[in-house]
Amino acid sequence: MNYRELLEKAKEVSQNAYVPYSKFKVGACVLTEDGSTFSGCNFENASYGLTICAERNAIGTAIANGHTKLKAIAIYSPNEDNCVPCGACRQVMTEFLAGNDLDIITEVNGEAKVYKLSYLMPESFKI
C-alpha cells in the first residue's frame, strides 16, 4: 500500500470521529510490518481526560488484531493542514516500531508529507 492510499483511509475514517466538544475530527490509519492496515478516529468524552486520539485508537485496533510492529501511520484532519500527533501518541508510537523508525504521513496543501518519528520525538522514553 502506498502512502497516498493510507492517507485516503485516514480521511475516510475521520468522518466517523465523535467530537461534540472540540469539533476537531481526526482519522488515522496504521500500516503494519506485514502490510495490514488498521484505522481509527478520535472520540471525546464529557470528562475530557477520557478522550482517545485517532492514532492511539488505530494502534489499539492493530494490537487487538495481533499486530504490534508498525511501519507507518497516516493522520488526517479536515480541520487542520499538517495534522501531526500529540506527544502522548508519539510516545505510544515508539513502543511499536517495526524497525528503527516510523513514517508519519500527513497532508499539507493537498500533498502527502512524511515525517520520521525520530524527528518529531527525539530522545523518547524507551525501556
Catalytic residues: 55
Q: Are 104 and 120 in contact (CB under 8 A)?
A: yes
In angstroms, rounded to a whole number, what is the distance separating the alpha carbons of residues 75 and 114?
A: 10
**Cell numbers 485508537: residue:** 57
Q: Are 59 and 80 in contact (CB under 8 A)?
A: no
Beta strands in the chain (DSSP E): 27-32, 37-41, 70-76, 103-108, 111-116
